[in-house]
């Protein structure tokens, strides 16, 4: 079990993070670049000293700013950190890299069988004699991952490890890390600014911005019901339309606050149906200001009154006017907070 409750000063703000990660649990710390996510990992790893707080791992206190002050050095923490740069030692062969920790830590016998097993599970058994310079990006990450597994770390910290790899390789490596972290039953924390990576990896998502954790929860719950407009923006909502404009259907807007002035509905581009389907969610009509191909479909910029949003459609929108249905959108009050916690009934909003 990893327990973290720390505050660490950065030049521009103070990073405050509180998270408990059970053995075998996978948590993703998601947020924009510069949000303070890496600082949290570095505090856990002992590379940054927090201003206040506590870090515990498996019942051991690694950091405590309360008296008596505790600051276990990184080499005694048994915490594995995998960064975007896999950090292989260029002067050592793959085999020597994999077994590096075994010759550092007392009580570890020769890697032997385990080395062979892990190399096989990572698909790098043919590379043991090679030097890191000869490896591809994906192979380097596999070796770095194997090195952490052989080091028998008590926690796995992943700092955007696969960000520089292509999507397919990223998916396969994320699945591999997920499987191995479950097998090892160690708490794992992934830091990423890619929501898809966080969703693919984590049991629990923590959204972080400007040093603060804004929301924590199951990944789908956070995406479907962001706690605030800011969280909604971070998890991919591309616009907010007034929820009370030209309502032409009976609604229970008051129950969700949708009837109040200033309440807006969040538009997630992937949760939009073309056309008016009142039974499915909020119907919105607006003016198409731009449309462009996106993946297998189209992406359209739409203006509802003076509120812009972007949505993805299966085909190119016909004409300048567009009606779409927002599937079960979250509603936000004038203060930016989420209104209510249940799906609103069918409503519609149209541009003037």
* Cα(78)–Cα(115) distance, integer angstroms: 19
Site string for another protein, 101-120 (x = CB under 8 A): x--xx---------------
Considering the complex, state which of residue 129 and residue 221 has its C-beta at the smaller distance from another protein: 129
Alpha carbon distance 311, 334 (integer Å)? 23
Integer Cα distance of 216 and 222 in angstroms: 7
| Stretch of residues binding another protein (CB under 8 A), selected from 63-71, 99-107, 206-214, 261-269 | 99-107
**CA 321 to CA 85: how far, in whole Å?**
48
Figure out which of the listed residues 59, 109, 113, 133 binds another protein, where binding follows CB under 8 A: 133
Q: Does 45 bind another protein (CB under 8 A)?
A: yes
Measured from the CB atom, the residue of 132 and 308 that comes closer to another protein is 132
Instruction: Figure out which of the listed residues 4, 115, 119, 151 binds another protein, where binding follows CB under 8 A.
Output: 151
Q: Which whole-number Å values give the CA distances from 13 to 9, 18, 36, 146, in the listed order? A: 6, 16, 9, 36
Cβ atoms within 10 Å of 34's Cβ, excluding its own: 15
Selected binder of another protein within 7, 47, 176, 273 (CB under 8 A)? 47
- Nearest to another protein of 96, 291 (CB atom): 96
Q: What's the closest the beta carbon of residue 131 comes to another protein, in angstroms?
A: 4
Nearer to another protein, 130 or 163 (CB): 130
Question: For residue 24, with 0-12 CB atoms within 10 Å meaning exposed, 13-18 middle and 19 or more buried, which class applies?
Answer: middle
For residue 80, the minimal CB distance to another protein (Å) is 7
Show the tokens assigned to 279: 């039974």
What is the C-alpha to C-alpha distance for residues 134 and 233, in angstroms, rounded to an integer? 41
* Pick 96 or 216: Cβ nearer another protein: 96
CA proximity to 324, closest of 271, 290, 276: 276
58: contact with another protein by CB under 8 A: no
DSSP string, 219-287: HHHHHHS-SBHHHHHHTT--BEEESSTT--S---HHHHTTTSTT-EEE--TTSEEES--TTTEEEEEEE
Nearest CB to another protein, comparing residues 40 and 198 = 40
H or E stretch covering 26: strand 26-30
Terminal Cα-to-Cα distance of the chain (whole angstroms): 55
Choosing from 57, 81, 158, 283, the residue that interacts with another protein (CB under 8 A) is: 81
Indicate the residue among 83 and 230 with the shorter CB distance to another protein: 83
**Candidate list 10, 13, 74, 220; residue touching another protein; CB under 8 A:** 74
Greatest alpha-carbon pair distance for the chain in Å reads: 75
The stretch among 68-76, 195-203, 238-246, 260-268 that binds another protein (CB under 8 A) is: 68-76
Backbone angles phi, psi at 189, to 5 degrees: -125, 120
- Give the alpha-carbon dihedral of 271, 274, 279, 280, to 10 degrees: -10
Candidates 5-13, 27-35, 83-91, 248-256; binding stretch for another protein (CB under 8 A): 83-91
Tell me how far, at minimum, the Cβ of 177 lies from another protein, in Å.
17
Pick the closer one to another protein by CB: 151 or 313. 151
Cα torsion angle, 11, 38, 216, 205, sign: positive
Closest approach, Cβ 134 to another protein, in A, equals 4
Report whether 13 contacts 211 (CB < 8 A).
Answer: yes
Q: Is 263 near another protein (CB under 8 A)?
A: no
Q: Which is nearer to another protein, 162 or 332 (by Cβ)?
A: 162
Contact set with another protein (CB under 8 A): 45, 47, 73-81, 83, 85, 87, 89-91, 100-101, 104-105, 130-134, 147, 151
């Amino acid at each position: 079990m990893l327990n973290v409750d720390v505050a660490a000063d950065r030049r521009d703000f103070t990073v405050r993070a509180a998270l408990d990660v059970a053995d075998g649990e996978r948590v993703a710390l998601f947020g924009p670049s510069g949000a303070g996510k890496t600082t949290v990992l570095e505090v856990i790893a002992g590379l940054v000293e927090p201003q206040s707080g506590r870090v515990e791992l498996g019942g051991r206190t690694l950091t405590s700013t309360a008296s008596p002050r505790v600051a276990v050095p990184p080499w005694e923490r048994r915490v594995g950190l995998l960064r975007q740069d896999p950090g292989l030692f260029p002067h050592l062969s793959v085999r020597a890299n994999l077994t590096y920790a075994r010759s550092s830590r007392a009580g570890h016998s020769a890697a032997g069988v385990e080395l062979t097993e892990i190399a096989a599970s990572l698909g790098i058994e043919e590379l043991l004699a090679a030097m890191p310079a000869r490896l591809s990006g994906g192979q380097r990450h596999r070796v770095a991952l194997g090195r952490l597994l052989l080091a028998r770390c008590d926690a796995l910290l992943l700092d955007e490890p696969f960000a520089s790899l292509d999507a397919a390789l990223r998916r396969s490596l994320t699945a591999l890390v997920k499987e191995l972290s479950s097998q090892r039953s160690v708490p794992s924390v992934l830091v990423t600014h890619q929501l898809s990576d966080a969703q693919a990896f984590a049991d629990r998502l923590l959204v972080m911005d400007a040093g603060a954790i804004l929301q924590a929860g199951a990944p789908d719950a956070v995406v479907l019901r962001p706690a605030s407009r800011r969280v909604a923006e971070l998890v991919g909502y591309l616009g907010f339309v007034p929820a009370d404009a030209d309502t032409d259907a009976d609604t229970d807007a008051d129950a969700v606050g949708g009837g109040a002035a200033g309440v807006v509905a969040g538009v997630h581009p992937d949760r939009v149906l073309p056309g008016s389907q009142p039974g499915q969610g909020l119907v919105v009509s607006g003016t198409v200001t731009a449309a462009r191909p996106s993946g297998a479909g189209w992406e359209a910029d739409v203006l509802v009154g003076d509120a812009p949003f972007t949505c993805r459609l299966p085909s190119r929108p016909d004409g300048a006017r567009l009606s779409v249905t927002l599937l079960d959108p979250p509603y936000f009050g004038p203060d930016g907070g989420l209104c209510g916690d249940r799906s609103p009934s069918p409503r519609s909003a149209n541009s003037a």
